[in-house]
Chain A
Amino acid sequence: MKIKQLSIFLENKKGRMRNALDVLADAGFNIRALSIADTSDFGILRLIVPKPDEAREILEKNNFVVKAGYVIAVEMSDQPGGLSTILGILDDSDINLDYLYAFVDEKEERAIVLLHPEDIDAGVEALLKRGATMIPSEDVYNW
Chain B
Amino acid sequence: MIWNDEIECMAHDELKKLQLKRLQDVVKRAYETVPYYKKRFDEAGIKPEDIKTLDDIQKLPFTTKDDLRRAYPFGMFAVPRREIVEVHTSSGTTGKPTVSGYTKEDIKIWSEVMARGLTMFGVTEDDIIQNTHGYGLFTGGFGVHYGAQHIGATVIPISTGQTRRQIEIMKDFGTTILIVTPSYGLYLAEVAEEEGVESSDLNLNSIGFGAEMWTEQMRQKLQNRFNSPAYNIYGLTEIMGPGIALECPEQDGLHVMEDHFYPEIIDSETMEVLKDEEKGELVLTTLTRHGMPIIRFRTKDITKLRRGTCPCGRTLIKMERITGRTDDMLKIRGVAVFPSQIEKALLKMDGIEPHYQIIATRPQHLDELEVQVETSPQLFSDEVKELVGIKKKIEQFIYDEIGLRVNVTLVEPKTLPRSEGKAVRVIDKREL
Contact = CB atoms under 8 A, between A and B. Distances in A.
B382 A11 contact: no
Interface in A63-88: 63-67, 69
Given A63-B412, A63-B414, A65-B412, A39 B381 contact: no
A44 interface: yes
B270 to A, nearest CB: 43
B378 to A, nearest CB: 9
Contact of A9 (B380, B388, B414): B380
B383 interface: yes
A44 to B, nearest CB: 6
A108 interface: no
Interface residues of A, number: 19
A120 to B, nearest CB: 12
A11 B412 contact: yes
A39 B382 contact: no
Nearest to B376: A65
A44 B412 contact: no
Contact of A65 (B380, B383, B388, B409): B380
| Interface-central residue, A9, A69, A98, by most chain B CB under 10 Å | A9
Contacts of A39: 384, 387-388
Contacts of A109: none
The size class of the interface chain B forms with chain A is: 10 to 19
B415 A65 contact: no
Interface string B402-432: 0000000111111100000000000000000
Contacts of B409: 41-42
A16 interface: yes
B375 interface: yes
Contacts of B415: 11
Nearest to B381: A67
A64 B376 CA distance: 9
B45 interface: no
Contact of A44 (B379, B384, B411): B384
Contacts of A9: 375, 380, 387, 410, 412
Given A42-B387, A65-B377, A7 B382 contact: yes
A67 B377 contact: yes
A10 interface: yes
Nearest to A8: B380
A98 B376 contact: no
Contacts of B411: 11
Given A7-B382, A9-B375, A46-B382, A65 B387 contact: no
Nearest to A68: B382
A98 B380 contact: no
A66 B413 CA distance: 11
Contacts of A66: 377, 380
B37 to A, nearest CB: 54
Task: List the 3 closest pairs (A to B, CB-CB), nearest first.
Answer: A7-B382, A65-B380, A63-B414
20 contacts: A7-B380, A7-B382, A9-B375, A9-B380, A9-B410, A9-B412, A10-B412, A11-B415, A39-B384, A39-B388, A41-B409, A42-B410, A44-B382, A44-B387, A63-B413, A64-B412, A64-B413, A65-B413, A67-B381, A69-B382
Given A10-B412, A65-B413, 9 more contacts: A7-B380, A9-B375, A16-B412, A39-B384, A39-B388, A44-B382, A65-B377, A65-B412, A67-B382
